[in-house]
Chains A and B, each alone.
Chain A
Amino acid sequence: MSVQDQQSASLGPPKGIGPMQRREMWLAYLMLAPTFAIILMIVAGPLLANFWISVKPVQLADLRPPTVLVNERVRGRPEAAGDSATLEYRLRNSSQEEEIRDVVVTDEIPAGFDVAALPEMCALNGQALTCTIGTVEPGWRERLRIEGTVTDTFLSTNRPERASKPAVTGDANNVLTNFDFTLENFSRIFSADEFWSVLRVTFYYTIFGTAGALVLGLFAAQLLNTVFVGRGFLRGLFLFPYVSPVIAVAFTWVVLFDPFSGTVNALLTKMGVIADPINFFGQRAIEYSLFGIPMEFPLALTTVIAFEAWRYFPLSFLFILARMQSINTDMYEAAEMDGATPLQQFWYLSLPQLMGILSVLFLLRFIWTFNKFDDIFLLTGGNAGTRTLTVDVYEQGFALSNLGAGAAVAVVVFVVLVTFATLFIRFSPKEEGL
């Protein structure tokens, strides 16, 4: 035993990490390593890369980096062994704007082709041909001709030059990895007229969508918090909107509310509720006047919010129901004895008990609704005053092909999200851990 071990044995419990614990620690890190690797690679990495792209002038087309395109063919129509022929490589810079440096073409000379003369930039080593071309201009074209004679082996093969594909290496300026930075993406999105309306729509959508889902969920949980025949069936049915694929339910809503062949509009017009079909997903606003003041009702946005509340109420319903069933019934019996009415019991007993789960659900749903892209994209494509920030990312990045601007909007999304998360974590009740 060493002196230190004797000391720690005599002075009570050991401090620091012992060998067993160290082994446990390494085992834990080892078990977590794959998870960490994939999350760093697919989540954390792209998150940082998004910031990088947002300050670069990247277009969608820039993702195909400039390369030298090469086309190989045999010229001279050799017909018998000993005929002379030319092996021709046509080279072209794919980009009209970027130069390519250190261009090297390598290829195997087809079997049975005896090289007679080489261009000066090329060298032959056995059958391996290497042509060092160097830097080429934007839009550059060139032909490399290799003279020689053919043998029977060459002639007996069908298209002998296809036996090996020529390979080109080159170093082009890749706009994703170079050090050109610009703030133009941000100035472009902030100066756009629609940006602030997009931001406003995002908040309407998030707040009302979240509140709608929570209120519907609370109501549905109240309904199913009693025992009756068919309760299991109804609970399963109520979860359908959440479980089904978003494409299925979104397209169903589009078909259901279609102004020309949709069931809802047909019902409403035939029953005389409305005179003309309403384009629920395509009409930006309905004008009406309240006490003589002209007002606008954002129709498409409301329909999209209704979809959001409809699709996600099952989640809050499930959590609220689980919480309700864990509330102790003694309390209600005591309240009953004291003469509390049902509404008083709900207001003074149930609601305070549910406050914790409701606030957690509000937080989660708020963030998820804010992050939501699929629903609006499939329902309206972001038209008719329903474009939220997430749809704007797609619109800028892919519809307008400006990846940099899309990434800049994504940065805005992320910053707003982090702000909310911090606020919520600071002010949310601590006891209800999730």
Chain B
Amino acid sequence: MRPGSVLLAAVTGLIWGFTAIVVIGVTLTLITGEVALPQATAAGIAGLLSALVYVWRNSSETAGGLPAWGLSAITVFLVLMVASFAAPFTLPLSVVPVWQALALALLVFGVTAANHICLSGARLGAMSRYEREVIYIRIAKGVGFVIFTIIVALPFYVMVMTSLKSQQTLLANPLDLSIDFSQGIYGLFRSYVELFTQFNFGRYLMVSAYVSVSTVVLTLLFSVPGAYAVSRLRFPGQAFLARSVLLIYMVPAIVLVIPLYAVFSQLGLRNTLTGLLIVYPATTIPVALYMLQGYFRGLPSELEEAGLMDGLSRVGVILKITLPLSLPALASVSLYVFMIAWNEFLFAFMFLDNPDIFTLSRGVVSLNSSEVPRQHLMAGAVIATVPVLFIFLWFERFLVQGLTAGSVKG
């Protein structure tokens, strides 16, 4: 028995007991709407003892009997029930019994599994620095997974669930983020129906799609020849150009807004989609050009030279050899540009006053007033998010490769 090793096992168990009860208690609260106050101290003690039992069982010589994880699970359950007076979530067991049982089972399983993963190979006797650090890292990673998943998923969960609620239930209990099926399908999606019928969101959706697709097309029309010239043709100033293109991307949009607002107002372009379709490509062309030229450089130039020798013109080479070869890059650039245009807020907000030509971003901002209930705002946010997330998940591989490969060497 070494005090250091015992302490390590104890702290591991304490952390997991505490983490598990807080996470599961909050989840139970959000799912059922009942305030499940987690008994953190009890769970911490339960986790601590179960970790010690687990390590003791693993490091003792005797074989046979219950496996270590089994003993550890029983310890968690018994200690937790005793220490929390049979109410681990401070709720009487008669309230939402099925959910509570599920949560309790999940809790026991979670603490046991986490202890099992973190403490496999741990002993109560002396451990080397290497072995201890392996355990530190397992704990840090485990806690990291839990925290990252929560901070990323929670806002999106709240966004979707809030959009499905009604004004009264939201005000009555802000913690109740369950789906209330009793109100029927129409009641559930009432906010969405109202957005599409009364708030013109169908039109905003079309306008956003039109603007984003047009921006993609325009950007490709401009940037493909440019990227080809920068990566393949020799001319004075080539290296300088290839580098300076990205500097344009550093210019803040807010610096351009006032002059563009002034000039577009005088030209009558401000409150038009044409105005947006001039500005958006100008902001996306540099990054598209940069990503594409990186890809073009990687293509073997022998193919193009062969095409030239066989009598194709430069334009023919680009259309018949370079572009078909660079379809993955074109796809990832298109997606990236589409996302930029779809998500763009500043220029849409500054330029568009006419509700007939609002993009989705602009439309959702117009919902942010005290007269429009919260669930409408969240439904608008969902409508704006779903298409872009859908496209992203569908083409994620392309996108991730395009984002990193074009720009990171080595």
Instruction: Point out residues on A near B: beta carbons under 8 Å.
Output: 21, 24-25, 27-29, 31-32, 34-35, 38-39, 41-43, 45-47, 49-50, 52-53, 58, 63-65, 176, 219-220, 222-223, 234-241, 243-249, 251-253, 255-256, 261-263, 265-267, 270-272, 310, 318-319, 322-323, 326, 339, 341-343, 356-357, 367, 370-371, 373-374, 378, 390, 393-394, 397-398, 403, 406-407, 410, 413-414, 417, 421, 432-434
Contact = CB atoms under 8 A, between A and B. Distances in A.
Given A35-B226, A237-B152, A246-B345, A176 B129 contact: no
Contacts of B388: 243-245
B343 A266 contact: no
Contact of B255 (A32, A234, A410, A421): A410
Contact of A255 (B145, B158, B230, B403): B158
A357 B407 CA distance: 11
B233 A24 contact: yes
Which residue among A46, A53, A433 has the maximum number of chain B CB atoms within 10 Å of its CB?
Answer: A46
Q: DSSP class of B's interface residues: helix, strand, loop or mixed?
A: helix
Given A223-B145, A343-B133, A46 B259 contact: yes
Nearest to A367: B250
B103 interface: no
Nearest to B144: A223
Given A39-B282, A323-B408, A397-B258, A252 B253 contact: no
29 contacts: A25-B236, A28-B229, A38-B281, A42-B256, A42-B278, A43-B251, A63-B265, A64-B265, A219-B144, A240-B152, A243-B388, A247-B384, A248-B385, A252-B155, A255-B162, A256-B154, A256-B155, A261-B171, A266-B173, A318-B400, A318-B404, A326-B410, A371-B252, A374-B346, A378-B365, A403-B261, A410-B254, A410-B255, A421-B250
A407 B285 CA distance: 25
Given A28-B234, A356-B410, 15 more contacts: A31-B225, A45-B259, A46-B259, A234-B145, A240-B389, A245-B361, A247-B384, A255-B158, A255-B162, A267-B29, A319-B404, A319-B408, A370-B252, A373-B254, A417-B252
A356 to B, nearest CB: 8
Nearest to A346: B137
A270 B133 CA distance: 38
Contacts of B278: 38, 41-42
Nearest to B132: A341
B342 interface: yes
Contacts of A245: 342-343, 345, 360-361, 364, 381, 384-385, 388
Given A319-B408, A339-B130, A417-B252, A236 B155 contact: no
B198 to A, nearest CB: 19
Which residue among A45, A247, A271, A318 has the maximum number of chain B CB atoms within 10 Å of its CB?
Answer: A247
Contacts of A234: 145, 149
Interface of B: 25-26, 29-30, 35, 37-38, 129-130, 133-134, 136-137, 141, 144-145, 148-149, 151-156, 158-159, 162, 170-171, 173-175, 177, 221-223, 225-226, 228-230, 233-236, 238, 241, 246-248, 250-263, 265-266, 278-279, 281-283, 285-286, 289, 314, 339, 342-343, 345-346, 350, 360-361, 364-365, 368, 374, 377-378, 381-382, 384-385, 388-389, 392-393, 396, 400, 403-405, 407-410
Contacts, number: 279
A51 to B, nearest CB: 9
Contact of A251 (B230, B282, B377): B377
Contact of B263 (A32, A49, A219): A49
A262 B174 contact: yes
B166 to A, nearest CB: 13
B226 A248 contact: no
Nearest to B410: A326
